[in-house]
A and B are shown apart, each in its own frame.
Chain A
Amino acid sequence: AQKVTQAQTEISVVEKEDVTLDCVYETRDTTYYLFWYKQPPSGELVFLIRRNSFDEQNEISGRYSWNFQKSTSSFNFTITASQVVDSAVYFCALSENAGNMLTFGGGTRLMVKP
């Protein structure tokens, strides 16, 4: 069975600090996909990134970066120089199959204070 754990339920930082959101996953499959979504106060989830299990390259997109390590089953998300607009709930998710059924972690609420 697949499982996603986000141990940090809530993180509070001051603007311009760097922050890392942790994600640990469990799966028996060798082929799987990992995702990060952002849920702002408006409610809808916004797609941030998808990574397949064969691509362990880290990715950087502006102030966002992701560190995928199969050896530790982790897919951590770092925001550099955080801004107030980054305040949201962030979800890590896993999909093992082609049906796009995602298993979500419990989410991490990030609060960035000015």
Chain B
Amino acid sequence: DGGITQSPKYLFRKEGQNVTLSCEQNLNHDAMYWYRQDPGQGLRLIYYSQIVNDFQKGDIAEGYSVSREKKESFPLTVTSAQKNPTAFYLCASCAGSGETGELFFGEGSRLTVL
């Protein structure tokens, strides 16, 4: 079945460590997104990519990095520079950047910093 796969589902990290969250899609979508969700809050955009080898910062990009070497993959690295990384991270994709269309989401990765 087509969809978005995020891994790992749960991740624990010690302070000072970088960690990479995986996001893979087999929907042949051009655009991919990373959102952060904190308890009781809406989703905030971290990074997005509308085409391979290109990506832009969202509203809260500090302390995060991404790459888009393949259409299907958009990994997110949470670096040690991110001061409050404990959160729920959601990856999404969309067919195109023309008419605004629906986003398809993965099941998320919950990161806890110990």
Interface residues of A (CB under 8 A from B): 4, 6, 9, 33, 35, 37, 42-47, 50, 91, 95, 97-102, 104-107
Contact = CB atoms under 8 A, between A and B. Distances in A.
Given A47-B102, A50-B100, A106 B108 contact: no
Interface string B25-56: 00000010101000011111100101000000
Nearest to B99: A98
Interface residues of B, number: 29
A33 B100 contact: yes
B103 A105 contact: no
A101 B40 contact: no
A47 B94 CA distance: 12
B42 A104 contact: yes
Contacts of A43: 88, 90, 107-108
